[in-house]
Amino acid sequence: MLNLIIPKMVGSLTNAGVSLNSPSVNDIRQLQKRLKALDPKLRTALLRDAKATAKPIQQAVKSRLGAVTPPSGMTRGRLTWNSSVDGKGRVHTADDVKIEFRTKSSGFTKTTSLVRVRAASPAVSMADMAGRSGSYFDAGYKGSGYTRPYKYKNGMRRHRVNGQGRALVRALGGEASRFVYPAAEAALPKAKREVEQVLSKYARLVNMKGI
């Protein structure tokens, strides 16, 4: 799974989220709560408008992934390019790219990653980031010499790392982050500006109502 985080609003998540004198937003959950108290439809509108800022990124990534010609080794098996299976048994096409609105914060930085674009295909994740591990390449999952275990039929399955990964990286060419981030990079700055405008718009609305 690959994530592209669009904005990060910084602020304490324990203090009041929406100031009566400022459009700044420190706690997105507090903003949602106050919008819901004002009118439940406003909270829904906030989610819709925030996610809309990511549509150009979603389309750029989907278009790029749809144009990729996968290596011959990715035309069969669990990580088939156009029908890869995740750990929960769900099948994903290569251009399965989703927009999500989240309010979970980091315990270290107290930031909230509000909107993300997620490439859900395990095959895309593997192909896009293959080779990133550098000196740990070919070490396997947690240095075990095997792949990370995954569900298979009624049990779990894993495979010994045998050097085929290096051949795949050579076939893919280039450094890690081959498809997803390069496709989204041009649209990211605009999306960040637009989502901040959306938040300010709804924060001002709450402030004017004094909720």
- Tens-place pLDDT, residues 160-171: 776 666 666 666
pLDDT of residue 164: 60
Residue 95 is predicted with a pLDDT of 92
The residues near 88 (Cβ < 8 Å, ≥ 6 apart) are 151
Q: Are 111 and 10 in contact (CB under 8 A)?
A: yes
User: Does 151 share its domain with 57?
Assistant: no
Q: Same structural domain for residues 74 and 6?
A: yes
Q: How far is CA 62 from its chain centroid?
A: 13
DSSP code at position 36: H
Residue 51: CB atoms within 10 Å: 21
Q: Are residues 103 and 19 in the same domain?
A: yes
Q: Does position 7 have pLDDT exceeding 60, yes or no?
A: no
Query: Residue 198 pLDDT > 80, yes or no?
Result: yes
- The count of structural domains within the chain is 2
Whether residue 150 is predicted with pLDDT greater than 70 in this model: the reply is yes
Give me the residues paired with residue 100 across strands: 116
Closest listed residue to residue 151, CA positions, set 80, 205, 78, 207: 78
Instruction: Please indicate, yes or no, whether residues 95 and 65 belong to a single structural domain of this protein.
Output: yes
Q: Partners of 155 in the beta sheet? A: 152
Domain identity same for 75 and 152: no
177 pLDDT higher than 70: yes
Is the pLDDT score of 52 beyond 90? yes
Q: Report whether 126 contacts 73 (CB < 8 A).
A: no
Range of the domain at 165: 131-175
Helices marked H in 53-121: 55-66
Q: Read off the pLDDT of residues 54-68 as tens digits, 9 standing for 90 and up.
A: 999 999 999 999 888
Residues 94 and 10 in one domain: yes
What's the DSSP call for residue 148?
P
**Of 1, 193, 4, the residue nearest 117 (C-alpha):** 4
45 has pLDDT over 80 = yes
**Does the pLDDT value for residue 49 go beyond 70?**
yes
Task: Check residue 30 and give its pLDDT.
Answer: 79
Residue with more model confidence, 110 or 67:
67
- Tokens 């496709």, residue located: 183
Over the chain, what is the mean pLDDT? Answer: 75
Structure tokens at 194: 């637009």
On whether both 55 and 115 belong to a single domain, the answer is yes
Q: 39-48, 62-71, 128-137, 149-158: which range is least confident on average?
A: 128-137
Query: How much is the pTM?
Result: 0.69
Q: Does residue 169 or residue 70 have the better pLDDT?
A: 70
Q: What percent of the chain has pLDDT over 90?
A: 10
Are 23 and 43 found together in one domain? yes
Judged by DSSP in three states, 52 sits in: helix
In this structure, the answer to whether residues 205 and 150 fall within a common structural domain is no
Looking at residue 99, the DSSP 8-state letter turns out to be: E
Whether residue 27 is predicted with pLDDT greater than 60 in this model: the reply is yes
Whose tokens are 């081959």? That residue is: 178
Q: Beta partners for 74?
A: none
CA–CA gap between residue 114 and residue 94 (Å, rounded): 24
Q: What pLDDT is attached to residue 63? A: 92
Higher pLDDT, 12 or 91: 91
Count Cβ atoms below 10 Å from residue 29 Cβ, excluding itself.
Answer: 13
Tell whether 99 and 198 lie within a shared domain.
yes
Mean pLDDT of the 44-55 span: 91
Tell me, yes or no, whether 145 and 121 share the same domain: no
